[in-house]
Every structure is written in structure tokens, then in C-alpha cells.
Chains A and B, each alone.
Chain A
Amino acid sequence: KAGVTQTPRYLIKTRGQQVTLSCSPISGHRSVSWYQQTPGQGLQFLFEYFSETQRNKGNFPGRFSGRQFSNSRSEMNVSTLELGDSALYLCASSLVSSGTTDTQYFGPGTRLTVL
């Protein structure tokens, strides 16, 4: 079974631009979560989608948004990029996320650099 895929793997943008990242979960997984990882802050939860609905949201500004499609693929968008948005963006998929032992599996990540 194929793992979680993320595109693009690397991205360089300038301040003020916007960016869209894509995530395809493991086949059969319906929950997709997004995380931002930086050296200083560790893994920070952005949001979770399940059945095309945002179910959980972290403490990020409204510039960060996402959506999920009927095939469970998900995209996240960051508008008006700031230097501090430079990070590794990770997508994780799980079957349903409501189970106690339901496990998240991570994609390879998208490395975003904002200049």
C-alpha cells in the first residue's frame, strides 16, 4: 500500500506571496492532519480534516487554511507569506482519527523557504 505523498517536496517563495501544498493520504484513510515543524517550536498542529470537514484547528492565524476533497486528498494554503512561515510542513493521515489507537502516518513533508 502506498504511503502518504506530499507535493511539492521543496518550495521557495518570497514574502507576500501565497502557496498551496498538497497531500494524498494512504488509501482508505479519511483523516488528514497538517503540522508545521520548525527547529525552535517542534511539531505544531495546524488543522485536521475528515470527510471534507475541518474537525480540529490549531492556533495559527487565518492566513493558514485548508480543505479536503471527496477522495480524501487535502490541500493547505498559506497567504501573504512571512519569513517566519519557513518550515517543514507535514501531512499525516489516519483511518478515522476518532479511535484511541488510530495511528497517524506522516508524509515526507514539504520544505517551504520564504525569502
Chain B
Amino acid sequence: QKEVEQNSGPLSVPEGAIASLNCTYSDRGSQSFFWYRQYSGKSPELIMFIYSNGDKEDGRFTAQLNKASQYVSLLIRDSQPSDSATYLCAVKWNSGGYQKVTFGTGTKLQVIP
């Protein structure tokens, strides 16, 4: 069973700070990595994906991937109270010619005004 681990939190950060969300995965063959944001009572919405080692930036969000350490993170700069949500890490891996996705259980982020 492919595993994706996230600290459940809550992670509390003050408004304007950088929030750092982490995710580790068990399968070295994992190929792509996705971050979703889920507000309470709502469905997950895609923030960004990354598949190459290094950083990928999109506005206030930066995804960082280190395949050697099997580690992917999401940085949120200038955190806002509206960023308070649960962040899900998803890992895509190949099995029998098909792509499968495993989700972590999510990290709850609280941005304190």
C-alpha cells in the first residue's frame, strides 16, 4: 500500500507569516504530486502540482519537491485568514500501466489575524 503522510496539525501561523506544509511518501516511483485546499464542508480544490525536483511558484504558493528524500512541501507566503483550511497532499504513481492517486489525510492550517 502506497502511503502518504501529513502532520494533521493544526498548524497555527500569524497573518502575514509563511506557512510550511509538509508531505512524505513511501513509493520512490511516485511521479507527480498535487496540493489541494479544502475548506470545511467543501470539496478539495487544486492549488498546484509539481513533478520535477526543485521549486515551483504560483503567486503566494511555492511547491518544493525532493524525490531523493521522498518529500514534498507547500509554502504559503503572506498567509491570510482566508488560507485557513485543510491542505491535502496527493501522490500519483504508476501501477500496471495506469496512474493511481493516494491522498494524505491533510494538514489543518489556521491563520491567526
* A interface residues, Cβ below 8 angstroms from B: 33, 35, 41-43, 45, 55-56, 88, 90, 97-109
**Bitwise interface map of B from 7 to 33 toward A, beta carbon under 8 Å scored 1, else 0:** 000000000000000000000000110
A43 closest partner in B (C-beta): B103
Please tell me if the beta carbons of A97 and B32 are within 8 angstroms of each other in the complex: no
Q: How far is the CB of A43 from chain B (nearest CB, A)?
A: 4
Docked-complex contact A103 and B42, CB < 8 angstroms: no
Taking chain B's interface residues, is the majority helix, strand, or loop, or is none over half, making it mixed? strand
**Could you say which interface size class chain B belongs to?**
20 to 34
Cβ contact within 8 Å between A43 and B43: no
Segment of B45-53, B60-68, B73-81 in the binding face? B45-53
Verify if B88 is at the interface (C-beta below 8 Å from A): yes
**Contact present for A103 and B34 (CB under 8 Å):** yes
State whether A100 touches B31 (Cβ < 8 A): yes
Beta-carbon contact of B102 and A45 below 8 Å: yes
A45 and B99 contact, Cβ closer than 8 Å, known pairs A90-B44, A101-B32: no
B101 within 8 A of A: yes
| B positions within 8 Å CB-CB of A | 31-32, 34, 36, 42-46, 49, 51, 88, 90, 92, 95, 97-106
Task: Say whether A106 contacts B98, CB under 8 Å.
Answer: no
Given contacts A100-B51, A106-B44, contact A42 B101 (CB under 8 A): no
Does B44 contact A101, Cβ atoms closer than 8 Å? no
B98 contacts A55, CB within 8 Å? yes
Report A-chain residues with C-beta under 8 Å of the C-beta of B43: 88, 90, 106-109
**Chain A residue nearest to B86 in the complex (CB):** A42
Residues of chain A within 8 A of B45, CB atoms compared = 106
Q: By CB atoms of chain B within 10 A, which of A98, A104, A105 has the most?
A: A104
**Which of B46, B99, B103, B105 is within 8 Å of A97, CB to CB?**
B99
Contact, CB under 8 Å: B101 / A45: yes
